[in-house]
Amino acid sequence: MFRKFRSLALAFIFISGCTASVSKTTATKAVKRSTPGSSSSKITATPGKGVYIGISGTVTDISFSNQVITLDKTVNDFNKIALTEESELLDQYGNEISLQEIQPGMTIQVVGKAGKDAIIAQKVLLPRPTSLPSTLQFSDEHVNAIDTIRTKLDLPNLPLEFITRVPDPNSPTGSLAVSKYRDAEGRIFSVDPITNRVIEINARPIISSISSDVTTTSTEALEEKAKEMFASTVPDSSSQSQLRYEQANKSDAYFFNWYDESKVGFLNRPQLQIGLHQNGELVVYYNTLYLEN
């Protein structure tokens, strides 16, 4: 009897603080009936499980390292969703999805308990198809940024197609959302949509087309070429002396890395990596030295 009274009392407290309605249905059903993108919420008292909150909104930020999703809507002073290992991530068809498939700009629905700093998710739903909003698609500013760096790195100026926008787990915070484009030969360009900087050029997809019978460039010549690329793409190349420099090779590719170890508190060190095939062709370019995210 006391447990039942306590559940009803908690439900009354939550109702006093927001416009949500009380239902005797399960929390999952309450969320499924809410309107995608709506700021309204459903509160359900489930016997033996306390009070659950249903919240829906647009994803504005994701931290994979901390497993936290931030929404643009606030319910009971919460807009952060803490994803636990027990969270059941479902799409609109009831199938399990991975956290990687949740992207900024998506509308999601969450049901869970109110924690100290966030709603602790019990279930996350994608209430509508996961196609990207048009505002996250092809951008002339992104293409201009790609064209600029292609000129600096002597890469072919080929037609581009927009692929997707996804978080980059290798970025300093591990959650920077980048827009990806593919050129006609298969190179993939990742652009930071906030600064319009090209973060990555991934030419690995075209390496398989390189003939094994190629002229091998010396390590010294490859290093010199990498340093020239560094100077052409870094605004203040004099800062090179302040960075930790390393080089390594893997099979027929050689990697030249500059790390900024002066910045602390990041999941990954800000870096610039240039990877070159033994014939001198660019394999990968990755630059997060000047990101704040």
Q: pLDDT for 165-194, tens place per residue? A: 877 878 887 778 889 999 999 999 999 988
- Please tell me the distance from the alpha carbon of residue 14 to that of residue 42, in angstroms, as a whole number: 10
Is residue 293 within 8 A of residue 176, CB to CB? The reply is: yes
Whether 253 has a pLDDT exceeding 50, the answer reads: yes
- Please tell me the distance from the alpha carbon of residue 260 to that of residue 247, in angstroms, as a whole number: 15
What size, in residues, is the chain? 293
Give kind and range of the element (H or E) at residue 223: helix 219-233
**3-class SS shares of the chain: helix, strand, coil, % to 5:** 25, 35, 40
Confidence band of 134 (pLDDT split at 50, 70, 90): low
Secondary structure class of 169 (helix, strand, coil):
coil
Cα–Cα nearest to 11, from 1, 24, 2: 24
Token pair, residue 138, equals 């092809």
Residues 6+ apart with CB under 8 A from 70: 59, 60, 61, 62, 79, 80, 81
Whether 61 has a pLDDT exceeding 60, the answer reads: yes
Is residue 181 within 8 A of residue 265, CB to CB? The reply is: no
Confidence band of 35 (pLDDT split at 50, 70, 90): very low
Angle in degrees, CA 90, 173, 190, rounded to 5: 80
Confidence band of 237 (pLDDT split at 50, 70, 90): low
Confidence band of 227 (pLDDT split at 50, 70, 90): very high
Classify strands 107-114 and 119-125 as parallel, antiparallel or unpaired: antiparallel
Secondary structure class of 83 (helix, strand, coil):
coil
Residues 6+ apart with CB under 8 A from 262: 242
Cα–Cα nearest to 101, from 151, 164, 48: 164
Token pair, residue 39, equals 């700021």
pLDDT at site 245: 93
User: Can you list the domains of the chain with their CATH numbers?
Assistant: 19-125 (2.40.50.320), 134-287 (no CATH)
- Please tell me the distance from the alpha carbon of residue 183 to that of residue 203, in angstroms, as a whole number: 10
